[in-house]
Amino acid sequence: MAKIACRYRLQHGFRGVGSGLIAILVLFWMTQPVAAARIKDLADIQGVRQNQLVGYGLVVGLEGSGDGKKSKFTIQSMAAMLEQMGITVDTRDVAVKNVAAVMVTAELPPFARVGSRIDILVSSIGDAKTLQGGTLLFTPLKGADGRIYAIAQGPINTGGFIAGGEAAAVQKNFPTVGRVPNGALVEREIAHNFNQKTTLALALRNPDFTTVSRIAKSINLALDDHFASAPDSGTIEIKVPDNYRGNIVGLVSLIERLEVTPDRIAKVVVNERTGTVVMGEQVRIATVAIAHGNLSIEIRESASVSQPGAFARTGRTVATPETDISVKEGAGKVLIMPAGVSIGQVVRGLNALGVSPRDLISIFKAIKAAGALQAMLEVI
């Protein structure tokens, strides 16, 4: 089946139709059949996922760009940290501008082991101007259960900067957010018994009855027996064969490499803010007649100046406004679309009418309202 994607951007409102459509309506036409996709790219194994970690910490070493006195929690955190190190200070005496309070977030990969490292994201929560050049101090990262799973620390890479004076400043990216590559050390593992499983479950990323049925059939053919079943449109349940007991990794590797052609619903996505239309290859329309006409109204304002002659003793200069209005209406065209035409024929027919991007959106809405669009129309 032919595959087409249609996208355009509205740049000049209602001005310019016909030939102007060529500049803003981009068609990608591919005649090859829809390629099959790996099951690895269509579904996820239930239970194998990342886990979110979060922590509160301090960034030190900033060049006067840290939190100010209004960030009370930063001052309290500094005093508590120093007290843990045997130094007692009064929060009223703390006035340091090279420290910033931050929230640290990270994602703990599945099957992460103690001693492995993960990247962390550091975000300012106070009124610091930039985290550039700062160093994150020892920060425990906790999971949803409140237990510590990693410890973060290290120099921050912001990827941006801010510089300026009293009257002007220049900024690139967001210097109050930074990353620390391999900045967290995993201290606790998530308990699992993956290799001892007797059943597996795959969760389809885009639930669809046809696609899930094809995946189950493909797995059964690869295992040469009925081990996979689909209880609903988004789940495939697999019984582990006896010859794969204790070797679940090998079974998952086999399943992930299998290729299946996913089924897709017919859909037209319209974004009126940007003037974008994307149409899937399955879009069809019933027999319908489309009429399109052009109306162009041009208004010009000018002034006619009248003044007395060079040697006139009386008189005054008068400016009279003038308005010139011209109206042009193009000859309307009627295009008949037969039932079951493909998306390529629809686009070529509408392009022959010389429709503008905004008109194209209106036409699809009208076809949908007439019940002739055999597809889902989604406006975003």
User: What pLDDT is attached to residue 169?
Assistant: 65
Question: What's the total number of domains in the chain?
Answer: 3
State the Cα–Cα distance between residues 66 and 134, nearest whole angstrom.
Answer: 9
State the Cα–Cα distance between residues 166 and 164, nearest whole angstrom.
Answer: 7
Within-domain flag for 43: no
Say if residue 175 is in the same domain as residue 285. no
State the Cα–Cα distance between residues 160 and 125, nearest whole angstrom.
Answer: 18
Say if residue 274 is in the same domain as residue 365. yes
User: What pLDDT is attached to residue 115?
Assistant: 93
Say if residue 159 is in the same domain as residue 228. no
- Length of the chain measured in residues: 380
- Secondary structure E strands in 223-349: 228-232, 235-239, 259-260, 267-271, 276-279, 284-285, 288-292, 295-306, 318-329, 333-337
Within-domain flag for 45: no
Say if residue 250 is in the same domain as residue 289. no
* This prediction's pTM: 0.65
Say if residue 61 is in the same domain as residue 143. yes
Say if residue 55 is in the same domain as residue 179. yes
User: What pLDDT is attached to residue 52?
Assistant: 95
Q: What is the CATH number of the domain that holds 199?
A: 3.30.70
Say if residue 238 is in the same domain as residue 139. no
CB neighbours of 102 closer than 8 A, spacing ≥ 6? 56, 57, 58, 59, 122, 123, 124, 125, 131, 136
Within-domain flag for 160: yes
Within-domain flag for 41: no
Say if residue 292 is in the same domain as residue 372. yes
Residue with tokens 């010139």: 324
Say if residue 197 is in the same domain as residue 177. no
Residue 350, CA atoms < 13 Å, CB-side half-sphere: 24
Question: Among residues 125, 159, 186, which one ends one of the domains?
Answer: 186
Enumerate long-range contacts of 69-75, CB under 8 Å, 24 or more apart: 69/95, 70/127, 71/101, 71/126, 71/127, 73/101, 73/126, 74/99, 74/100, 74/101, 74/126
Say if residue 105 is in the same domain as residue 147. yes
Within-domain flag for 291: yes
Query: pLDDT under 50 in the chain at which residues?
Result: 1-33, 295-297
Say if residue 81 is in the same domain as residue 141. yes
User: What pLDDT is attached to residue 307?
Assistant: 73
Within-domain flag for 231: yes
Question: Among residues 186, 206, 228, which one ends one of the domains?
Answer: 186
Say if residue 343 is in the same domain as residue 287. yes
Within-domain flag for 42: no
User: What pLDDT is attached to residue 24?
Assistant: 33
Within-domain flag for 46: no
Domain ranges, residue 143: 51-186
